[in-house]
């Protein structure tokens, strides 16, 4: 058994083929990260340009992959060395320990204090491992993994950061009980949907609001507008302009909500999401029944006003207009009581649980 740092096209192909083979016949998983990894290897993504990136694999004596991941370090999150995009076969704890030990050693060289396992470079690209609901297909951009991944990291003495999501079976009139509040907010705020003709302007508003709203969020670090431009360009290949809604107060950005249909409904289980699903969506017009509320943010000075309720109301009107009838939230940190309380008030139930793992570097 040996650890190998990915170096060159042949290693990259082996790294990518491992996850393709692993999930090929998995009825409960659709791979939303395959093409992002290809772009990382090709050096195309702006957000990784300031990062120290190393893809690593642990191989057996026959050079078969046992486990693999991408390690990432950024000076903007100096406390952590990240283990991203982890994949593994079952029953190879020693290989996983070797991979984590490599990350610890790398972290020491950068002056890191902890390894964080399950952060995908930045929270905007993903956070956590699935830790419940293993028998249902992951939604677009949500983690999906076997239960034994969690067993590996818990067995290494990692601390666990918990997250959860929420689900609503059918969008109905439940927000009407907040109609007086919503109407009042519409008198104080103006609401605008994204306009692709003003892409640069609205993408900058999105970036600025992210940096304002999430400055104290665990693992968040400052985004450059170019990072969000490349992310939004890809998302707007699929989603409509009414998937990103902004609130303004006296012309000043105050908050936003981002939602989109669960595009994984376009894919077959075991597939890597990609270009053909674009054509299914745009040309075949295949309907999607579930929407994903990916994130909302409100600037601190406007919190406590109920603004997320008004934004959610607008998002629900938009998503029903696209034929979606159910709604899933993205992950929410268990420690984020504000967001959890809103979801408890307007959603049917908690849905799936997720976990991020941290290990002290000694």
pLDDT tens for each residue of 38-76: 999 998 888 888 899 999 999 999 999 999 999 999 999
Mean pLDDT of 293-304: 96
Is 70 exceeded by the pLDDT of residue 279? no
**What residue spans in the chain does CATH classification 3.40.630.30 cover?**
2-164, 168-352
Is 90 exceeded by the pLDDT of residue 149? yes
Query: Any idea what the Cα angle at residue 168 is, between residues 162 and 172, rounded to 5°?
Result: 150
Look up tokens 């609130």; give the residue: 247
pLDDT tens for each residue of 2-50: 999 999 999 999 999 999 999 888 888 989 999 899 999 998 888 888 8
- 149 burial class (0-12, 13-18, 19+ CB within 10 angstroms)? buried
pLDDT given for residue 280 in this prediction? 63
Residue 143 CA to residue 257 CA, distance in Å, equals 21
**Nearest-CA neighbor of 267 among 27, 19, 20?**
27
Question: Could you tell me which residues come within 8 angstroms of residue 227 by beta carbon, excluding any fewer than 6 positions away?
Answer: 46, 47, 122, 124, 207
Average pLDDT of every residue of the chain? 94
pLDDT given for residue 28 in this prediction? 84
Fold of 2-164: Aminopeptidase (3.40.630)
Strand duo 129-130 + 244-249: pairing: unpaired
Is 70 exceeded by the pLDDT of residue 285? no
Is 60 exceeded by the pLDDT of residue 283? no
Question: Could you tell me which residues come within 8 angstroms of residue 38 by beta carbon, excluding any fewer than 6 positions away?
Answer: 16
pLDDT tens for each residue of 110-141: 999 999 999 999 999 999 999 999 989 999 99
Mean pLDDT of 96-115: 98
Question: Could you tell me which residues come within 8 angstroms of residue 307 by beta carbon, excluding any fewer than 6 positions away?
Answer: 185, 189, 247, 254, 255, 298
pLDDT given for residue 49 in this prediction? 87
**Nearest-CA neighbor of 220 among 210, 228, 207, 229?**
210
Is 60 exceeded by the pLDDT of residue 335? yes
The confidence band for 175, taking pLDDT boundaries of 50, 70 and 90, is very high
pLDDT given for residue 190 in this prediction? 98
Query: Could you tell me the pTM of the whole model?
Result: 0.94
Q: What is the CA radius of gyration of the chain?
A: 21
CATH of segment(s) 168-352: 3.40.630.30
């Amino acid at each position: 058994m040996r650890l190998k740092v990915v170096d060159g096209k042949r290693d990259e192909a082996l790294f990518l083929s491992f996850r393709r083979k692993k999930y090929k016949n998995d009825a409960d998983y659709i791979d939303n990260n395959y093409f992002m990894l290809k772009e990382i290897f090709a050096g195309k993504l702006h957000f990784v340009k300031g990062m120290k990136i190393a893809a690593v694999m642990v191989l057996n004596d026959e050079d078969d992959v046992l486990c693999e991941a991408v390690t990432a370090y950024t000076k903007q999150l100096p406390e952590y060395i990240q283990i991203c995009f982890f994949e593994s076969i079952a029953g190879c704890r020693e290989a996983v320990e070797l991979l984590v030990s490599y990350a610890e050693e790398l972290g020491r060289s950068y002056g890191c204090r902890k390894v964080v396992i399950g952060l995908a470079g930045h929270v905007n690209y993903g956070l956590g491992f699935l830790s419940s609901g293993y028998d249902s297909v992951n939604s677009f951009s949500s983690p999906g993994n076997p239960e034994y991944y969690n067993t590996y990291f818990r067995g290494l003495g990692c601390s666990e950061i918990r997250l959860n999501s929420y689900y609503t079976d059918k969008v109905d009139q439940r927000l009407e009980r907040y109609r007086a509040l919503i109407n009042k907010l519409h008198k104080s705020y103006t609401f605008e949907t994204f306009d692709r003709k003003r892409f640069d302007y609205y993408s900058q508003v999105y970036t600025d609001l992210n940096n304002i709203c999430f400055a104290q969020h665990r693992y968040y670090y400052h985004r450059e507008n170019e990072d969000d431009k490349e992310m939004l360009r890809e998302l707007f290949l699929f989603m409509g302009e009414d998937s990103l809604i902004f609130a303004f107060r006296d012309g000043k950005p105050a908050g936003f909500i981002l939602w989109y249909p669960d595009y994984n409904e376009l894919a077959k289980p075991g597939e890597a999401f990609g270009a053909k699903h674009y054509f299914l969506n745009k040309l075949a017009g295949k309907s999607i029944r579930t929407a994903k509320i990916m994130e909302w943010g409100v600037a601190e000075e406007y919190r406590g006003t109920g603004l997320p309720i008004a934004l959610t109301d607008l998002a629900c009107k938009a998503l029903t207009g696209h034929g979606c009838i159910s709604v899933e939230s993205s992950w929410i940190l268990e420690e984020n009581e504000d967001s959890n309380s809103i979801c408890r008030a307007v959603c049917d139930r908690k849905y799936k649980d997720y976990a991020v793992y941290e290990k002290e570097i000694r």
